[in-house]
Structure formats: C-alpha cells, structure tokens
Chains A and B, each alone.
Chain A
Amino acid sequence: AQSVSQHNHHVILSEAASLELGCNYSYGGTVNLFWYVQYPGQHLQLLLKYFSGDPLVKGIKGFEAEFIKSKFSFNLRKPSVQWSDTAEYFCAVISAGNMLTFGGGTRLMVKP
C-alpha cells in the first residue's frame, strides 16, 4: 500500500526565511503528486501538482516543489515566507483508484 511521510510536523520560521518541507512517498509505480494547503479555519486548497515532465513544479503564491524519483521525494519550497503562509501543508500522492493518500501534514507558523 502506498504511504506518504512528512517528517516535519511543526515548523516555525520568521518572515523572509526560506522554507523547505519534506515529503517522501512509498509506491513503486507511476505516481502523481500534490501539495495542498489548509489555512486556519479553511478548506484544503491545491498549491501545486506534478504529473510528468519538468520535475521542478511551480505553484501558486510563490511555492515550488521538486520531484526526485530516485529519492521518492517531493519537497515543497518557498524562498521567502510571509506571515500569511501560516497554515498546515499536506503532501499527497494519487495512484490506482484515484485515491489520494495524504501525509500527516506539517503545521507552519510564520512569525512576523
């Protein structure tokens, strides 16, 4: 069965710091990868997705992620975070059955 691991459960950064959130998945076949964000009190929103092609994917709000197949990783990055980036971030993988499997989430707090 596929699984997704997000090793950082809580991250605290100051504004303008760089962000990298780790995501590793276990699945031997073709996978499609997603990062979703959940702002406080809001629903999940899609940040970016990778299906094929350029392994460096750019998403909304200045976020990007790099798919490294050999490492089974899909880490999320942002060069300079803002207070408004405070949220919970979820990595997810989709494969057979169109079933999204989510990681445990990373709570990011950005201090102004």
Chain B
Amino acid sequence: DSGVTQTPKHLITATGQRVTLRCSPRSGDLSVYWYQQSLDQGLQFLIQYYNGEERAKGNILERFSAQQFPDLHSELNLSSLELGDSALYFCASSTGQAPYTDTQYFGPGTRLTVL
C-alpha cells in the first residue's frame, strides 16, 4: 500500500458524459500527478499540481481538467468522453520539495470504461 488512495476503482459510463476521478495523496505530500495508461499510448503524464497550483502539464486534452484542493486532494475531470478515453488513470504523489529527485508513489488507479 503506497498511501495514495483513488476513488472510484472502476467507472463505466457512456460517450459524451462527464466523470470525476478523485485522489488523496500520501500524508505530508504536496505534489499530485495524474497519468493515463492505455494499451495504445502506454503510460502518459497528464498534469501535476503542487500545493494547489498547477506546476506541469503533459499530454492532457482540453476536455480534461484537474484541480488540487486546500486539503491537498485532487480531482481529474474528464468531459465529453470518447471511446478512446477508456484507460487506467493513475494518481501519484510526492513531497514536491526536490523536483528532480522526488520519488512518486502511485495509487491503485481508476479504470474508466467508456461505452
């Protein structure tokens, strides 16, 4: 158990819908990262937040957005869902104090299926 929690574990929805994925970081970690794992794209970095502020952005679609709240939990919002958005979405957290050497600890992931 990494200490990072994600809910829900599984999510099944239809095309065009909007979903919210939730992540709680390890106690004391200020940075939260979101990754997407799909069969064709592999593991891809989406976005990072540090203490409530966006810090880095990767291959995140405009239909996707995220935020980090004052209690440091984070939510990833996916809208206008398409079949290709079906994937495993991981959240990771780190202390954020040493950007290049921080170890990121991963949560169990949310499996999103878009029908």
Contacts and interface: CB of A to CB of B under 8 A. Distances in A.
Interface in A85-112: 90, 94-95, 97-105
Contacts of A42: 108
Contacts of A44: 90, 92, 106
Interface string B75-115: 00000000000000010101010011111111111000000
Contacts of A49: 103
Q: Give the size range of B's interface with the partner.
A: 20 to 34
B2 A100 contact: no
B43 A99 contact: no
B56 A43 contact: no
Contacts of A45: 2, 106
Given A102-B43, A104-B42, A97 B55 contact: yes
A44 B93 CA distance: 12
26 contacts: A30-B100, A32-B101, A43-B2, A43-B106, A43-B108, A43-B109, A44-B90, A44-B92, A44-B106, A45-B2, A45-B106, A46-B103, A46-B104, A46-B105, A49-B103, A90-B43, A97-B48, A97-B55, A97-B56, A98-B48, A98-B96, A99-B45, A99-B58, A100-B35, A100-B92, A100-B104
A94 B102 CA distance: 9
A51 interface: yes
Q: Give the size range of A's interface with the partner.
A: 20 to 34
Interface of B: 2, 4, 31, 33, 35, 42-45, 48, 55-56, 58, 90, 92, 94, 96, 99-109
Given A43-B90, A43-B109, A97-B56, A102 B42 contact: yes
Given A43-B106, A46-B103, A99-B48, A105 B43 contact: yes
Contacts of B104: 46, 100
Given A43-B90, A46-B103, A90-B43, A98 B56 contact: yes
Contacts of B90: 43-44
